[in-house]
A and B are shown apart, each in its own frame.
Chain A
Amino acid sequence: RKEVEQDPGPFNVPEGATVAFNCTYSNSASQSFFWYRQDCRKEPKLLMSVYSSGNEDGRFTAQLNRASQYISLLIRDSKLSDSATYLCVVIRSNDYKLSFGAGTTVTVRA
């Protein structure tokens, strides 16, 4: 089983829609979680950290469910510019190994 798994999508949504997707992790010792965004042919860029209590940044909401070992990202009021691949990142507490998911592709259409 992969350490970090994501639904690859693609999620095709109209502008203004809400889209949400999860990322599951297998190691319960994981301690830090992030969402990155990667545009085509560009480097991944940090979108937001994921905190235990959940956190929001504008139209983006990240949640952590330790019991079920997943994190989620919700995008409200989707914009065309939200079209990208969203990568989840998990860091283990025992050895600080960082693992990337394979990414979830979101396409927002006009």
Chain B
Amino acid sequence: DTAVSQTPKYLVTQMGNDKSIKCEQNLGHDTMYWYKQDSKKFLKIMFSYNNKELIINETVPNRFSPKSPDKAHLNLHINSLELGDSAVYFCASSRGNEKLFFGSGTQLSVL
């Protein structure tokens, strides 16, 4: 069973569109994250939720809106996609501040 699963794996879309990436974890963790990894391979945190509450919101355009319907899910919605949004987006989860478990990533390409 996949511990942290995110869909879709690949997402190709036009500039200006709105898209969502879904993430689910079955590890019983209370904290979930979204990370962005750009072409330079640097992993940058975007958001972190603990028990459905937002605890980290780094400098991310407000076109990005996370939603956590329950502790096991953290979805990422992106409005008005821009070329610079092209990257790999990783969802992750942890128990408190313990080690992270990552999803397999979503490769977003904005044309």
Contact B43 A87 (CB under 8 A): yes
Bin chain B's interface residue count.
Answer: 20 to 34
Chain A residue nearest to B91 in the complex (CB)? A43
Residue of A36, A96, A103 with most partner-chain B CB within 10 A: A96
Contact B43 A46 (CB under 8 A): no
Contact B90 A49 (CB under 8 A): no
Given A46-B99, A46-B100, A89-B100, decide whether A100 and B41 contact each other with a Cβ distance below 8 A: no
The residue from B41, B56, B96, B102 contacting A103, defined by CB atoms under 8 A apart: B41
Residue of B40, B43, B56, B101 with most partner-chain A CB within 10 A: B43
A43 to B90, CA, bound (A): 7
A36 to B103, CA, bound (A): 14
Report if B97 contacts A (CB, 8 A): yes
Report if A54 contacts B (CB, 8 A): no
> Interface size of A by Cβ–Cβ distance < 8 Å?
20
A36 to B98, CA, bound (A): 13
Measured between C-beta atoms, what is the minimum distance from A86 to chain B in Å?
12
A102 to B42, CA, bound (A): 5
What chain A residues lie within 8 Å of B45 (beta carbons)?
98, 100
Chain A residue nearest to B48 in the complex (CB)? A98
A89 to B57, CA, bound (A): 19
Contact B96 A43 (CB under 8 A): no
Binding site for A on B (CB under 8 A): 40-45, 56, 88, 90, 96-105, 107
Binding site for B on A (CB under 8 A): 32, 34, 36, 41-46, 49, 85, 87, 89, 91, 96-98, 100, 102-103
